[in-house]
Chains A and B, each alone.
Chain A
Amino acid sequence: EPEVTQTPSHQVTQMGQEVILRCVPISNHLYFYWYRQILGQKVEFLVSFYNNEISEKSEIFDDQFSVERPDGSNFTLKIRSTKLEDSAMYFCASRKDGGSSYEQYFGPGTRLTVT
């Protein structure tokens, strides 16, 4: 069964460094999302992406964050200058085209630790 994959599974970085988190969504899906979950807290929406552009972003998704779909398969989240509070589990999710398909399928996550 197709699934969303994410790399790396764990990333440790120093404050101020740039990180790129990678995701490969399910191949026939057209909507892509990033969420994050700080330890012990709720899963929070960061950004949605469709047709090669951001369709919506949350207040968390400030200028330090960017997303890109550099080719037909990868979907990346970049944090330009990491802060301690960016430490969290980052999840990528994807969804088929609209119509009757609303299920979002999540990847296994990347645990980002900022020291």
Chain B
Amino acid sequence: SQQGEEDPQALSIQEGENATMNCSYKTSINNLQWYRQNSGRGLVHLILIRSNEREKHSGRLRVTLDTSKKSSSLLITASRAADTASYFCATDGFNDYKLSFGAGTTVTVRA
């Protein structure tokens, strides 16, 4: 299984602080994507990092990928209350592009 597993399961931070969450997976991947899900809502695509990339930025998001350790991290800088959500990593393989999701990290940003 290529399922990603996020760590920690839950994270509570103060507004303005940074939030870091990690994702580990089991087999070789083609891409790794991060998604945000507000409670009971849809999945919003945040960022994709390819297996030959090591780091990627998008606004306040920074994603790293270490294929030797089969892990990725998502950093949200200067968090805001609106960042309160669950964050999922999802991996796909080389021959198919179906996504395997982790269980997610629930982030609560306190005002």
Contacts and interface: CB of A to CB of B under 8 A. Distances in A.
B99 A35 contact: yes
- Most chain A CB within 10 A, of B3, B97, B98, B99, is at B98
Interface of A: 31, 33, 35, 41-45, 48, 55-56, 58, 89, 91, 93, 95, 102-109, 111
Given A45-B100, A56-B98, A95-B97, A108 B42 contact: yes
B98 A103 contact: no
Contact of B98 (A42, A45, A89, A105): A45
19 contacts: A31-B97, A33-B99, A42-B102, A42-B104, A43-B99, A43-B101, A45-B98, A58-B98, A93-B99, A102-B48, A102-B50, A102-B92, A102-B97, A103-B33, A104-B45, A104-B90, A104-B97, A104-B99, A107-B42
B101 A102 contact: no
B43 interface: yes
Q: Which of A41, A103, A104, A105 has the most CB of B within 10 A?
A: A104
Interface of B: 3, 30-31, 33, 35, 40-45, 48, 50, 88, 90, 92, 96-104
Contacts of A108: 41-42
Contacts of A44: 101
B103 A106 contact: no
B42 A91 contact: yes
Contacts, number: 60
A14 to B, nearest CB: 23
Given A42-B102, A43-B43, A104 B33 contact: yes
Top-7 shortest CB links A-B: A108-B42, A106-B43, A43-B101, A45-B98, A102-B31, A109-B42, A42-B101
B83 to A, nearest CB: 19
Contacts of A43: 43, 88, 90, 99, 101
A49 to B, nearest CB: 11
Contacts of B33: 102-104
- Which of B31, B40, B88, B99 has the most chain A CB within a 10 Å cutoff? B99
